[in-house]
Amino acid sequence: MDSAGLRLAYRGLFGEVDGGEFGSPARGELSAEQIMAHLVANDELMIQATEALLAGSPYAYYDLDDMHRPQLDALVAEQGGMRGLTALLHDTSERLCALVDQLGLNAETPVATCLREGPDLDIDEPLPWSRTLNLHTKVHLPKHQAQLHALRANP
């Protein structure tokens, strides 16, 4: 398994971030900063699971269900807003891609996966790690890129 598609998805997301200022979200929706914090937290969880697979751990898991707004807001404050979050996401995405390039056959190892993001993405079962990475590449990152686009002050 290689990270080419994943890198391309991140490039699209960063292009959206670099495209301009963001407006306020609709009530109940995430702000641009919260979306970026969510993606950073997601990357960290994916890095941990990928490292566990590479280390031969008999138990690897990926559970995004425990990340809530207070944690996102804390990460936003800790990073000083969008600029710090963007720099951190560049780092975490690069670390994840580098690990994905090392996976080889480990990519087919089942990983206990809990991923819930609205009605279009609701998974709570073991999946081959390559499938989870594919969902991140083709569904998760584009979904958040579209959310960021919708928040642009001058789309």
Domain boundaries, the chain: 4-151
User: What is the model's pLDDT at position 153?
Assistant: 65
Residue 94 has φ and ψ, to the nearest 5°, of -65, -40
Percent of the chain with pLDDT over 70: 95
User: What is the model's pLDDT at position 53?
Assistant: 94
Identify the three-state secondary structure at position 121.
coil
Cα torsion 69, 75, 80, 83: sign: negative
Structure letter (DSSP) for residue 22? B
Instruction: Tell me the pTM.
Output: 0.92
Residue 120 pLDDT more than 80? no
Burial 53-81 (b: 16+ CB within 10 A, else e): beeeeeebebebeebeeeebeebbeebee
Residue 155 pLDDT more than 60? no
Q: What CATH number labels 4-151?
A: 1.20.120.450
